[in-house]
């Protein structure tokens, strides 16, 4: 039985800014929701292994990704956590096909044309395979980035503001793919965004992050401005 239970409890001092986040998510799509500069990206970087917490524990089901007390810190390359970056970060010197195939190859998995074809079809990127990233539009680039993360067979998928670099028309173009991804891929997702409308369409659970701290966990009712605490109110919530 797969639970896909992600437990995050981390502390990290970043200059004068402190991240102190504790939350859990089980399967499906969970949003990390909050204003820009709240520390959401730092939290997903710690989950991915790109940033080391000062203290705490990150675990996915029985697999401990990080535990300061137990001195466990799995390197990013061994976590199998797929990461879709805000800016895509496709490898400029590789074709789209090789970008998509990169994680499968690095993970040592045998070629799997059926899965490859399925993901390519899911994201509608078949016509791009022999091109290079330099000439792709923003929307195409993000779809390829999603496909690349998906094809590494991740245990967990992190999407950090995947639509932020796109104009509103392009955003509308990507959202249906994200919904299909959530419904078909069966990979738990952490979806980072500051956009309530966007989060509302994709995530069912919401973790609200403000000033480096988790200030609420629950359903999409957390997205409505009415329950957002006023300025200065965040610190009074434990």
Partner 1 sequence: MLDLTPEDWTAVHLSLRIAAVSTLVTLPFGIAIAYVLARKSFWGKSLLDAVVHLPLVLPPVVTGYLLLITFGRRAPAGAFLADHFGIVFSFRWTGAVLACGVMAFPLMVRAIRLSIEAIDRRLEDAAATLGANRLWLFATITLPLALPGIIAGMMLAFARALGEFGATITFVSNIPGETQTISAAIYTLTQVPGGDAAAMQLVIVAIVISLAALMASEFFARRASARVHGA
Question: What are the residues binding partner 1 (CB under 8 A)?
Answer: 48-50, 75-83, 85, 87, 89-93, 102-103, 106-107, 132-135, 148-149, 152
DSSP state of 231: T
Query: Minimum distance from CB of 136 to partner 1 (Å)?
Result: 9
Query: Minimum distance from CB of 101 to partner 1 (Å)?
Result: 10
Nearer to partner 1, 101 or 173 (CB): 101
Nearer to partner 1, 49 or 139 (CB): 49
How far apart are alpha carbons 61 and 26 in whole angstroms?
Answer: 9
How far apart are alpha carbons 78 and 88 in whole angstroms?
Answer: 21
Give the pair of three-digit tokens for residue 238: 């434990």
**Are residues 141 and 92 in contact, defined by beta-carbon separation less than 8 angstroms?**
no
Query: Minimum distance from CB of 132 to partner 1 (Å)?
Result: 4
Question: Under DSSP, is residue 55 helix (H, G, I), strand (E, B) or coil?
Answer: strand
Phi, psi of 33 (to 5 degrees): -120, 135
Query: Minimum distance from CB of 30 to partner 1 (Å)?
Result: 19
Nearer to partner 1, 56 or 133 (CB): 133
Task: For residue 201, count CB atoms less than 10 angstroms from its CB and return exposed for 0-12, middle for 13-18, buried for 19 or more.
Answer: middle
Which residues does residue 210 pair with via DSSP β-bridges, in sequence order? 213
Nearer to partner 1, 90 or 209 (CB): 90
Query: Minimum distance from CB of 110 to partner 1 (Å)?
Result: 14
Phi, psi of 24 (to 5 degrees): -130, 155
Secondary-structure percent of the chain, ordered helix, strand, coil, rounded to 5 = 35, 25, 35
Nearer to partner 1, 91 or 172 (CB): 91
Query: Minimum distance from CB of 128 to partner 1 (Å)?
Result: 12
Nearer to partner 1, 100 or 214 (CB): 100
Question: Under DSSP, is residue 186 helix (H, G, I), strand (E, B) or coil?
Answer: coil
């Amino acid at each position: 039985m797969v639970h896909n239970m992600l437990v995050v409890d981390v502390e990290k001092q970043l200059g004068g800014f402190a991240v102190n986040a504790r939350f859990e998510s089980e399967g499906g799509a969970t949003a990390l929701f909050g204003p820009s500069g709240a520390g959401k990206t730092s939290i997903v970087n710690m989950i991915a292994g790109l940033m080391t917490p000062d203290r705490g524990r990150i675990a996915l089901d029985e697999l401990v990704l990080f535990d300061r007390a137990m001195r466990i810190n799995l390197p990013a390359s061994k976590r199998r956590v797929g990461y879709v970056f805000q800016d895509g970060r496709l490898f400029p010197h590789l074709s789209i096909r090789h970008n998509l195939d990169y994680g499968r190859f690095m993970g040592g998995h045998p070629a799997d044309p059926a899965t490859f074809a399925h993901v390519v079809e899911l994201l509608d990127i078949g016509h791009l395979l022999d091109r290079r990233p330099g000439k792709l539009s923003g929307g195409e680039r993000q779809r390829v980035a999603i496909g690349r993360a998906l094809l590494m067979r991740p245990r967990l998928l992190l999407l950090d503001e995947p639509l932020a670099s796109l104009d509103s028309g392009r955003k509308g173009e990507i959202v249906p793919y994200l919904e299909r991804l959530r419904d078909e891929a069966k990979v738990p997702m952490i979806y980072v965004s500051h956009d309530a409308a966007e989060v509302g369409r994709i995530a069912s659970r919401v973790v609200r992050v403000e000033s480096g701290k988790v200030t609420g966990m629950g359903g999409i009712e957390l997205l409505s401005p009415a329950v957002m605490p006023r300025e200065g109110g965040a610190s009074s919530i434990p």
